[in-house]
Amino acid sequence: MNRVAAIWRKEFRTFWYSPIAYIVITVFLVLMSWLFFKGFFVMNNADMRSYFQLLPWAFLFLMPALTMRQWAEERKSGTIETLMTKPVSELQVVLGKYLATASFLLIILLLTLPVTFTVIGLSQSKADWSVLVTSYLGALLLGLAYIALGGWVSSFTSNQIVAFILGVALIFILVVVGEGIVTYFVPGWLAPPLAYLGLAQHFQSMQRGVIDTRDLLYYASVIFLFLYLTVRTVESRKWS
């Protein structure tokens, strides 16, 4: 665990050395706030549902932007060879990098709290804290799944732009596959499995204030699967 923590510290510090981190945070917070409050005052309805409904689509671009350099930069600069000669396993490196990006995601979610407290202050009714907590939990799990997917894509290319585009494409497919516009046009027996595979569908369930073990198991499975694939990809390219 000490080696994982060391990689986490290194990777987490690296985020703040680059202006990209500050640009990503600023663009995300400003865009989300503008899109939310634009409809907020029109609808005259003080709740956070529409804010959380934007997150799967905002994360679609945010997470690949954070993960695109995770492995691609290492391969381009040649530092991955140096990293892998150190007494650390591929799993430890993958976990360290993943946890660093996850920590960055957590900070971003914390920075959205002023919006939440503003809405609570403007609301005429009491805040439904159970819905808010489960919505934030769902947003965290959704983001963690996106990070695992984006990290895997970054592990098999040395081009950050390619990693970003492929990451957006893969996440988009796994989001829309569970949407009604897709499940409506497939055979009836295929609709439930596709709906279950949709990344955003499980988040929408948690937005209603319900914590279902099936949703937790789904996100845990997605995260585990793509972390495993990342480890295997790093191992295979290490000896290629």
Q: In the prediction, which pLDDT does 40 show?
A: 66
Instruction: From residue 93, give the alpha-carbon distance in Å to each of 18, 150, 163, 197.
Output: 21, 16, 19, 28
Domain ranges of the chain: 2-238
- Terminal CA-to-CA distance of the chain, rounded, Å? 28
What are the φ/ψ torsions at residue 195 (nearest 5 degrees)?
-60, -40
Q: In the prediction, which pLDDT does 153 show?
A: 93
Spatial separation of the C-alpha atoms in residues 214 and 232, rounded to whole Å: 27
Place 96 in a pLDDT band, splitting at 50, 70 and 90.
very high
Whole-model pTM: value is: 0.90
Weakest-pLDDT range from 40-44, 61-65, 128-132, 191-195: 40-44
Average pLDDT, the chain: 85
Instruction: Let me know: does 73 contact 151? Beta carbons within 8 Å.
Output: no
Token duo for residue 151: 């990290």
Token duo for residue 32: 């989300």
Weakest-pLDDT range from 36-45, 211-220, 230-239: 36-45
Would you list the DSSP string of 140-185? HHHHHHHHHHHHHHHTT-S-HHHHHHHHHHHHHHHHHTTSHHHHTT
Q: In the prediction, which pLDDT does 166 show?
A: 94
**CA nearest to 232, candidates 137, 151, 130, 133:** 151
